[in-house]
Amino acid sequence: MKNIIFSIITLVTVAAVTISCNQSSNKNSDQQANDSTTIAAIPELQSPTLNDTVATVTSTDTSSQEAEKSDVKQAQKFTIAPIIKDYLTLKNALVSDNDQAAANAGKQLFTTLNNVNMKSIPANKHKEYMEIAENAKENAEHIGDNAGKIDHQREHLASLSKDVSDLIVLFGTTQKLYQDHCPMYNDGKGAVWISEAKAIKNPYYGGKMLTCGSVKKEF
């Protein structure tokens, strides 16, 4: 899609330049010939432009190597820190039994996930990231839409916490994080959550059973 838009922009630019060139010499008796040349040139221009774009991706010439280098640079900048920050706000809202704050944090997390620039993610991690992010977005959205239904928010937290764990494994974290486990949640099937602190504060039961659970992993 970007390639097509780029081609269109290129065509429009070339056409505009050609037209203004024609206008400056429009007293010319070759005007009609110029017009037909301009029209004929447009479809011809399209395929080299597309081919150039493809060549940039596949060839190993200097300019594409430089493009790859800048992609790598951008990729090295990618961090899941903003996602973690929103997740922790959400998790802590549920620790405090605050469904409204959880909904707000869910909406914020949804926005943060939507704002992730795929170009900043290393190409070899795109597919895996996309799968995790799709699931995480759905969970964040449902939590955002379910103020007043804290049990339902917590169901989505269980799924979201797996997504966040997967993201940490995939991209790492500079912040010290803990994966905690609550053995009771979901009829004894258990559930994990991610915490920024070693002390157990259970977001699935909040005030009812705040210290139920244990640290399972450290990141």
Q: How many residues bind Cu ion (CB under 5 A)?
A: 1
Shortest-Cβ-distance residue relative to Cu ion: 142
Minimal distance, residue 213 CB to Cu ion, in Å: 23
Count the alpha carbons within 13 Å of 2 in the hemisphere toward its beta carbon: 3
Minimal distance, residue 205 CB to Cu ion, in Å: 19
Q: Alpha-carbon distance 129 to 123, whole Å?
A: 10
Binding mask 43-82 for Cu ion (x = CB under 5 A): ----------------------------------------
Residue among 203 and 213 whose Cβ is closer to Cu ion: 203
Residue among 91 and 142 whose Cβ is closer to Cu ion: 142
Minimal distance, residue 144 CB to Cu ion, in Å: 10
Within 8 A by CB and 6+ apart from 111, the residues are none
Residue among 142 and 154 whose Cβ is closer to Cu ion: 142
* Contact predicate 132/169, CB 8 Å: no
Q: Alpha-carbon distance 129 to 112, whole Å?
A: 14
Angle between helices 99-114 and 150-171 (to 10 degrees): 40
3 state DSSP class of 131: helix
* Contact predicate 188/160, CB 8 Å: no
Residue among 171 and 204 whose Cβ is closer to Cu ion: 204
Residue among 110 and 178 whose Cβ is closer to Cu ion: 110
Minimal distance, residue 11 CB to Cu ion, in Å: 46
Binding mask 2-41 for Cu ion (x = CB under 5 A): ----------------------------------------
Residue among 86 and 155 whose Cβ is closer to Cu ion: 155
- Classify the C-alpha dihedral 185-186-189-192 as positive or negative: negative
Q: Considering only residues 136-195, where is the footprint of Cu ion by CB under 5 A?
A: 142
Minimal distance, residue 184 CB to Cu ion, in Å: 21
Which two three-digit tokens encode residue 139? 């969970």
Q: Alpha-carbon distance 217 to 203, whole Å?
A: 17
Which of 23, 49, 47, 46 is closest to 35 using CA atoms? Answer: 23
Minimal distance, residue 156 CB to Cu ion, in Å: 6
Query: Which residues bind to Cu ion, rule: CB under 5 A?
Result: 142
